[in-house]
Amino acid sequence: MKTPIRVAVTGAAGQIGYALVFRIASGQVFGPDQPVILHFVEIPPALGALDGVHMELDDCAFPTLAGVVKADTDHLNDGFRDCNFVLCVGSVPRGKGMERGDLIKINGPIFTNTGKAIQEAAASDVRVVVVGNPCNTNCLIAMNNAKDVPSDRWYAMTMLDQNRATSQLANKAGVAVADVQNMTIWGNHSATQYPDFFNAKIGGKAATDVISDHDWLKGDFISTVQKRGAAIIEARGASSAASAANALIDNVKAIVTPTPAGETFSAAVCSDGSYGVDEGLISSFPLTSDGKTWKIAQGFDHNEFAKAKLDATVAELRGERETVADLL
Ligand code: NAD
Ligand code: LMR
């Protein structure tokens, strides 16, 4: 039997957790031959609900689930011990009328202890994906509190934005989502993000050649993707959960699978200064993976329109970094 992969999920009793952990346990992420041990981390008041999730997992009798470890947030090291992946979902979601950045003072402090415990207890090959908002800056906080964990191990999730943008383009062009490639999200997972239709391809052609309505691309397309999270909160009374869990699964798969030639995926990673993004910021880029680490894909052209969008989202990330300077 293969050595099990240990995957920690914080906030496992929450909405996203409930849509996520059964899919990881079932083998959908790491494959049907790869055993997984799930590590659940929750705040003490949620431990009862977490027991319920655990009972339901047992009742699924997944052959790939090789064990469950539960820990509360007072014992983070137990939760993250020897974990190869830490999926940081646990945090407070925004409500109607809020921006994700409004959560920075509530959720930011969670990520100091998270970073420290990952450094102390996780496996030497640990990879971390931050989902809890504002995810770019929460990831920055965790990474800066775990200086011994290499900077290429840290991701904040913009795959949900990529999936949203891909669907919008496919619907407009009347093609299957699989025909859309290189749909990159740049910058922050926020209302300033830049969904880069100029470099996206549809059926191998430039999206701007396939979709002639450029006013839509520059206007409604971008704002629909930027504001989709808020639209879901307005409609559902709660933030996206199934689509967020699905995107997290896509994100982890994109990390562990070598990226096919010519393709890219979006995630926010520690900038090396590429495309003029300040070094050290956690900003979304087009990435390729070799199954272990990522590279920022080079050669994406940015015209004046795109440069202005990228500048705006990077400026917001800089501002968020200043706001949490005491946590870094
Ligand atoms: P939720 O309230 O349903 O669940 C959050 C869970 O986290 C709860 O069970 C809660 O007990 C737990 N929790 C709270 N503080 C914690 C801590 N310090 N450590 C561990 N667990 C803790 O919320 P949700 O809908 O699952 O959303 C979780 C987060 O994900 C929110 O911040 C939300 O904004 C964010 N989110 C991000 C994306 C993205 O694309 N990056 C998408 C959707 C949601
Ligand atoms: C999303 O994009 O759906 C999440 O970040 C939740 C939110 O607050 O919008």
Q: What is the mean pLDDT of residues 207-215?
A: 98
Task: Identify any residues that bridge with 266 across adjacent strands, giving them in sequence order.
Answer: 286
Q: What is the mean pLDDT of residues 153-169?
A: 98
* Alpha helix segments (H runs only) across 145-184: 159-173
Using one digit for the tens of pLDDT, what is the confidence trace for 231-253? 999 999 999 999 999 999 999 99
Q: Does the annotation list 222 as a binding residue?
A: no
Cα–Cα dist 54/47, whole Å: 10
| Boundaries of every domain in the chain | 5-156, 158-324
For the chain, first and last CA: distance in Å? 41
With a pLDDT cut of 70, the percent of the chain lying above it is 100
53 close to 88: Cβ distance less than 8 angstroms:
no
Which two three-digit tokens encode residue 141?
């906080």
pLDDT value at position 223?
A: 98
Q: Please tell me if the CB atom of residue 240 comes closer than 6 angstroms to any atom of ligand 1.
A: yes
pLDDT value at position 296?
A: 98
Question: Could you tell me if residue 241 is left (phi over 0), alpha (psi between -120 and 50 degrees) or otherwise beta?
Answer: alpha
Look at residue 185 and tell me whether its pLDDT is greater than 80: yes
Other beta carbons within 10 angstroms of residue 51's beta carbon come to 14
The number of the ligand 1 atom at minimal distance from the alpha carbon of 157 is: 41
Look at residue 173 and tell me whether its pLDDT is greater than 80: yes
pTM of the complete model beyond 0.95: yes
Using one digit for the tens of pLDDT, what is the confidence trace for 29-75? 999 999 999 999 999 999 999 999 999 999 999 999 999 999 999 99
With a pLDDT cut of 90, the percent of the chain lying above it is 97
Q: Please tell me if the CB atom of residue 10 comes closer than 6 angstroms to any atom of ligand 1.
A: yes
Look at residue 1 and tell me whether its pLDDT is greater than 80: no
Q: Does the annotation list 94 as a binding residue?
A: yes
Which residue's alpha carbon is at the smallest distance from atom 5 of ligand 2? 229
- Greatest Cα pair distance, the chain, in angstroms, is 55
Q: What is the mean pLDDT of residues 300-318?
A: 98
Query: Where would I find the beta strands (DSSP E) of the chain?
Result: 5-10, 36-42, 65-72, 85-88, 127-130, 154-156, 180-181, 184-186, 194-196, 201-202, 205-206, 265-270, 282-289, 294-296
Mutate to test the pocket of ligand 2, among 92, 94, 248 (most ligand atoms within 8 A of CB): 94
φ/ψ of 267, rounded to 5, equals -160, 155
101 — pLDDT class (breaks 50, 70, 90) = confident
Which residue type sits at 304?
E
Q: Which of 54, 189, 214, 302 is catalytic?
A: 189
Cα–Cα dist 119/161, whole Å: 29
Q: What is the residue whose two structure tokens read 């913009």? A: 158
User: Catalytic site residue 54?
Assistant: no
Q: How does the average pLDDT of the chain come out, rounded?
A: 97
Q: Does the annotation list 131 as a binding residue?
A: yes
Residue 49 Cα to ligand 2 middle (Å): 23
Q: What is the mean pLDDT of residues 99-126?
A: 95
210 — pLDDT class (breaks 50, 70, 90) = very high
Residue 33 Cα to ligand 2 middle (Å): 33
Quote the radius of gyration of the chain (alpha carbons, Å).
Answer: 19
Which residue's alpha carbon is at the smallest distance from atom 25 of ligand 1? 15
Cα–Cα dist 265/218, whole Å: 21
138 — pLDDT class (breaks 50, 70, 90) = very high
ipTM over 0.95: yes
Assigned CATH for 158-324: 3.90.110.10
Which residue's alpha carbon is at the smallest distance from atom 31 of ligand 1? 93
pLDDT value at position 95?
A: 87
Residue 261 Cα to ligand 2 middle (Å): 30
Cα–Cα dist 268/327, whole Å: 19
107 — pLDDT class (breaks 50, 70, 90) = very high
Look at residue 169 and tell me whether its pLDDT is greater than 90: yes
pLDDT value at position 269?
A: 98
* Fold designation for 5-156: Rossmann fold (3.40.50)
Residue 132 Cα to ligand 1 middle (Å): 5
